[in-house]
Structure 1
């Protein structure tokens, strides 16, 4: 079958490209024809080129209005498309596909993929518009899939649809080595976008550090909250315990993981976290390192079979400290079966069965 994935932005702005690449690469391995349509930002062109992992890249113009028109025209020129897979319901992603299908008469099936609920991540002034696009996408999509099981259940309740459940996955087991320069201390790492909606995640970690004298924290990521966190670390006198690594590209992640003894993330138990599937849970699990995580949403489902998971009760600093202590003792070898079950190839098989109607 012939697929086109549509996304926007760059990998540092929109993690949806991770999903496009993972699922798209697996579909190529299963014998399908796959392209990704994305805007012509220099970062995208440099990172992906014309072909990557057997996936062809179609670059469209950037900018409000220009991107939508460019994508619509590209879709109009493509022939014999079986499926167009939209990474969300945004106007730069879903509208070009809808116009090509409904107004230009293209015969492809339309799949809309919600990796989270965008209306919970935007300022209140934009919420109504995002919800309108969400309703439009659910109404006209041939198939809807969600990365979170709770989001799939919510859409069934709100819209009366049966959304497919397709969490993120693991590309491959990472081969990392311990950096001897940091081997004398227990170092935990947090990776994520340092933006306002996720502020509580970092605030929680910083608040617990004074009670753990032997702990070092590396924070990797960028966003508008970075200078705020840097000032907070200085105010709390934690400069010797916290290191900011900035945005770390994939080709340098193994080096970063080599400096860690454990990976960590705290998720407040709020809708925005229950309705998404954090890709970093899979990224962390790909290392084999202990993962310290709060018991919220998809994280528990993802890591329930991971032998080096240490869960803690949400909003309980003392339990978090106990989970870190547990992580210090975890050195289990992660079985191949865990990685096979959570591979993109396994996900792609489920995906094909769902969109073609073979999945009951």
Structure 2
């Protein structure tokens, strides 16, 4: 009998990235013999991304934005109708506290550690901690997007006398979205990229994601390496501050902000890149999180400038270009060394980090190791 899995997500994928795994693994799981359904909030971006990444065999079920109580009720009704063998909860949040039908096994994913976020205090901290502990008790299995989360939830489960199976499963990239191209820089955008050394960052433009560190690093680097150009793709709380710094320091030639970049535009910018930047901080939050863009960089086979923290270190090993977390001077130094070295390749087998590869690991694990689909 064909096993059925239903992914339950919440929010718009532009703001809440937890739907990425559902959309990324839907088509590969279908190829592996699963009947796949994905429950998503009805937003233009969710519909667009689902159409781009999911095949015709995937059942997409959209719900309108509601209060938390109504969203839980609506999702529970959808899941009851679908009656999957596996209910995959994309994140342990209140809006995903969906009732599982009889005989359905619940898998809960952890992709961050909200209880260790420095900005979470008081009642909010109690709420997120309660949800994290609830997942251990209520789930039949846990998926952890980082090694740090595997360790944290392993120790918590042990203290709670729970034997909840866990799977380490980082994010990945979609081969339908990321396919490198050769670009003649002299012929595109009126030749503005010709003769430049281009590094790209894609993600939230916030201080804790390194927006200001990158800006300061390029400021320090531009006099010795005037060919450097940093392309920042995304939006965030620090965007206005970055624009102000660029304007006041006269850095318009060295930093370009694109705003939000659609999936269809990613190939162009990533194929331009001589290197990528994936800033990290030496904090529990960054050790726990799995930066999804890191894996999207891999198929372009360019050096990645990052820190010896969490999943970038686990994924890149000795292939990464590392700077001290939060140190703009060291970031500038490492980028300068990279430019001077003439290094152009990362040298990592990107095929090991596709959603197809992740789906195969998940499929073997859930069928054989946990016995959920026996």
SS at match of 2:94: coil
Contact 1:292 1:327 in 2 (8 A): no
Counterpart Cα distance in 1 of 2:329 and 2:132 = 40
1:232-311 aligned within 5 A: 232-304=245-317, 309-311=320-322
Task: Give 1:318 deviation, angstroms.
Answer: 4.4
Task: Give 1:224 deviation, angstroms.
Answer: 2.9
Task: Give 1:28 deviation, angstroms.
Answer: 1.1
Aligned counterpart in structure 1 of residue 61 of structure 2, from 58, 62, 73: 58
Determine if the alignment matches structure 1 residue 176 to structure 2 residue 181. Answer: yes
Partner of residue 78, structure 1: 82
Task: Give 1:316 deviation, angstroms.
Answer: 4.1
Contact 1:350 1:359 in 2 (8 A): no
Partner of residue 44, structure 2: 42
Q: Does 342-351 or 240-249 show the bigger shift?
A: 342-351
| Number of residue-to-residue matches in the alignment | 346
Partner of residue 161, structure 2: none
Partner of residue 145, structure 2: 147
| Compared CA separation, residues 55 and 275, structure 1 to 2 (3 A) | same
Aligned counterpart in structure 1 of residue 215 of structure 2, from 196, 199, 206: 206
Partner of residue 13, structure 2: 11
Task: Give 1:303 deviation, angstroms.
Answer: 1.6
Aligned counterpart in structure 2 of residue 133 of structure 1, from 131, 148, 161: 131
Counterpart Cα distance in 2 of 1:92 and 1:119 = 17
Counterpart Cα distance in 1 of 2:316 and 2:15 = 26
Counterpart Cα distance in 2 of 1:349 and 1:240 = 45
Task: Give 1:284 deviation, angstroms.
Answer: 1.1
Aligned counterpart in structure 2 of residue 156 of structure 1, from 154, 157, 160: 154
Determine if the alignment matches structure 1 residue 194 to structure 2 residue 205. Answer: yes
SS at match of 2:369: coil
Aligned counterpart in structure 1 of residue 71 of structure 2, from 49, 60, 67: 67
Partner of residue 350, structure 1: 361
Aligned counterpart in structure 2 of residue 27 of structure 1, from 22, 26, 29: 29
Counterpart Cα distance in 1 of 2:232 and 2:280 = 15
Contact 1:2 1:34 in 2 (8 A): yes
Partner of residue 108, structure 2: 112
Contact 2:14 2:45 in 1 (8 A): no
Contact 1:152 1:162 in 2 (8 A): no
Aligned counterpart in structure 2 of residue 124 of structure 1, from 113, 116, 121: 121
RMSD: 2.4
Task: Give 1:132 deviation, angstroms.
Answer: 1.1
| Compared CA separation, residues 341 and 47, structure 1 to 2 (3 A) | closer
Contact 1:263 1:292 in 2 (8 A): yes
Task: Give 1:357 deviation, angstroms.
Answer: 4.3
Structure 1 length-normalised TM: 0.88
Deviations 1:13-47 (A, max 9, x none): 11122211222221112121111101112332344
Contact 1:6 1:87 in 2 (8 A): yes
Deviations 1:289-345 (A, max 9, x none): 221111111101112275xx322233444442343234332223846xx12322222
Deviations 1:172-197 (A, max 9, x none): 36222333321311121111112464
Task: Give 1:156 deviation, angstroms.
Answer: 1.3
SS at match of 1:12: coil
Gaps in structure 1 of 5+ consecutive residues: none
Contact 1:84 1:110 in 2 (8 A): yes
